[in-house]
Amino acid sequence: MNIGIFETEHFEGSYPVIKLFDNGKNEITVFTYEPAYEQFRHLFPGEPKKYGWMVKPAKRLKIVFIRDMYREIKRKKISLIYLNTISNNFIVYALFVMLLGKNRVVLTIHNINTQFEFKLSLSPRRIIRYIGRRILLSVIKEFNVVAMPMVNSLALKLPNNKKVYCVPGAVFDESHSGQTQPSVTNHINIVIPGTVDGRRRDYDQAIDLVFLLEQQKIPSTITFLGRFYEGYGKRILERIKTLQLKTTRLNYYESETVAQPEFNRVMNEANFVFIPSVLTTVIEDGVTELYGITMSSGNLFDVIKHAKPFIIPGPLKVDPFLEKSCFRYQEVQDITTFITSVKSDPGKYSSLLQSALEASRNYTIEKVRERNTGLFDV
C-alpha cells in the first residue's frame, strides 16, 4: 500500500509513525518542511533514501505546498494519508481532505479542547481558526492521540461512528536504547528535556530543586535539554547564569535547537528524567488544556524511547504501563528525599531501571501495532 505521512513540527513524533508503517510492503512518502527534514535526517541515519520525501522550501507558500502535496498523492496513488500535525490553514486542509474523496485520512489531535472549544473573542483570525477546526473534524473519520488517557477524552467528543487510535510519540528499540548511566552512589545525573516554556513545565520547580540539591550537598548534574522560549525562557536562563554552585552542575543550550545526536547522548547518560509539568495550560486561542488528559507531555516519549525512570507531579496522568518506573512528588522537597534514598540503596535504582525497561517494552513496534489493529495491518 502507498502511505503518505504529513508532518511539519513534531518530527520526533512522526518517527514512530514512519517506522510503524514500514512493514516491508508499504511504500512511504513523507511530506514535511525543511527544518523538520534536517532533524529527520538525524533520526534516520542511512535510511532517508528508503522513503519518498517531499520537502517544502522555506520560500514556498504553505497553500502552494498543500496543492503540490495533493498532486503528488494522486500521482503516486497514495491511499492512506496520515496527518500528524495540522496547526494552521484548517479550512484549506478540510478542503484538501474533501478533494481526496475516498482516500483514507487519519488526523492526530495534540490538544483536544482547542479543537472543540471556543474562547469568546472578537479576533477574526481566532473565529476563522475555530470554524476551520470544526470543519476539519467533520470531514475526517479516523483520529489518533498520543497517550492512552487521551483516548476517552477525545472519543467522548466525537460521534460514535468515528475511530480513535493511540499511537505514542515514540517506539522503543531495545537494541538502540543505549543506557549508559553511571552509578548513582557518587553522583546523580538529571535531565529536563524539552523547550524551556512556562506553558508546559514549571521551571521554577527546577530551580528550587537545584537549591535543595546544593543545600543538601548532593553531587549532581541537571541538564536543561532544550531551547529557552521567549520571555519566560530568557528569565529562567538569566537565573541559571547567576547561580553560584559548588556541588551541583548545570548544563544548558543557548542554540535554537539541540541536534538529535547530542539530545540522545544526554538522555542516555541521565539517571532520571525530571518532568515538572504544569497540570493546566493555555497553548492556543485561550482554551485551557489538561496535561495528561487532553494533551500529553512530549517528555514521556523521551522516557519511553530511552527507557528511563522519571519524576513527575503527583496528579499527572500517564499511561498505565509507565506507573512502576516513575516517582511522584507533591513538593519539590520530596524529590531530594527520594534521591537520597536511591543513593543509599543502589539496588533501588537498579530496580527502577528494570521497571523502566519493562515499561518501554510495551512500546515496541510490534506491541503498538497489536494495539492499533485496523491501522497498521493494512
| Cβ proximity of 277 and 299 under 8 Å | yes
- What does the pLDDT average to over 137-152? 97
- Percentage of residues in the chain with pLDDT exceeding 70? 98
> Is it the case that residue 148 has pLDDT exceeding 80?
yes
Q: Do residue 32 and residue 61 come from a single domain?
A: yes
Average pLDDT over every residue of 228-240: 95
The answer to the question of residue 294 being in a domain is yes
Nearest by Cα to 236 from 228, 245, 244, 225:
228
| 152-176: pLDDT as tens digits | 999 999 999 999 999 999 999 998 7
Looking up residue 152, the CATH number of its domain turns out to be: 3.40.50.2000
- Residue 43 has a pLDDT of 80
Q: Are residues 341 and 229 in the same domain?
A: yes
Residues 110 and 39 grouped into a single domain: yes
* pLDDT (tens digit per residue) in 314-326: 999 999 999 999 9
pLDDT at residue 165, rounded to an integer: 98
Mean pLDDT of the chain: 94
Average pLDDT on 303-317 reads 96
Confidence of residue 47 (pLDDT cuts 50, 70, 90): low
Is residue 246 domain-shared with residue 121, that is, in the same domain?
Answer: no
Number of domains, the chain: 2
- Per-residue pLDDT of 92-121, as tens digits, reads 999 999 999 989 999 999 999 999 999 988
Question: Nearest 5°: CA angle at 197, between 42 and 318?
Answer: 75
Per mean pLDDT, which range of 9-23, 36-50, 314-328 is the poorest?
36-50
pLDDT band with cut points at 50, 70 and 90 for residue 378: low
Kindly state whether residue 378 falls inside one of the protein's structural domains. Answer: no
pLDDT (0 to 100) of residue 18: 94
- Residue 45 pLDDT greater than 80, yes or no: no
Q: Which domain holds residue 310?
A: 174-362
Residue 376 lies in a domain: no
Predicted model pTM: 0.91
Amino acid 49: pLDDT? 77
Kindly state whether residues 229 and 273 are assigned to the same domain.
yes
Residue 178 in this model has a pLDDT that exceeds 80: no
Q: Is pLDDT of 182 > 80?
A: no
Give the model's pLDDT for residue 121. 87
Co-location of 155 and 188 in the same domain: no
Q: What mean pLDDT do residues 176-180 have?
A: 71
Give per-residue pLDDT as tens, 208-223: 999 999 999 999 999 9
Instruction: Identify whether residues 162 and 216 lie together within a single domain.
Output: no
Q: Which residue has the higher pLDDT, 42 or 279?
A: 279
Beta bridge partners of 311: 274, 327
Q: Is 303 found in the same domain as 197?
A: yes
Could you tell me if 163 and 270 lie in one domain?
Answer: no
Task: Report yes or no on 68 lying in a domain.
Answer: yes
pLDDT digits (tens, 9 = 90+) for 250-284: 999 999 888 888 999 999 999 999 999 999 999 99
Cα separation, 270 vs 357, in Å, equals: 14
Residue 183 pLDDT class (50, 70, 90 cuts): confident
Same domain, 74 and 120: yes
Average pLDDT over residues 322-333: 97
Instruction: Based on the fold, state whether residues 328 and 193 are members of the same structural domain.
Output: yes
Does residue 52 fall inside a structural domain? yes
Both 210 and 316 in a single domain?
A: yes
Domain assignment present for residue 377? The answer is no
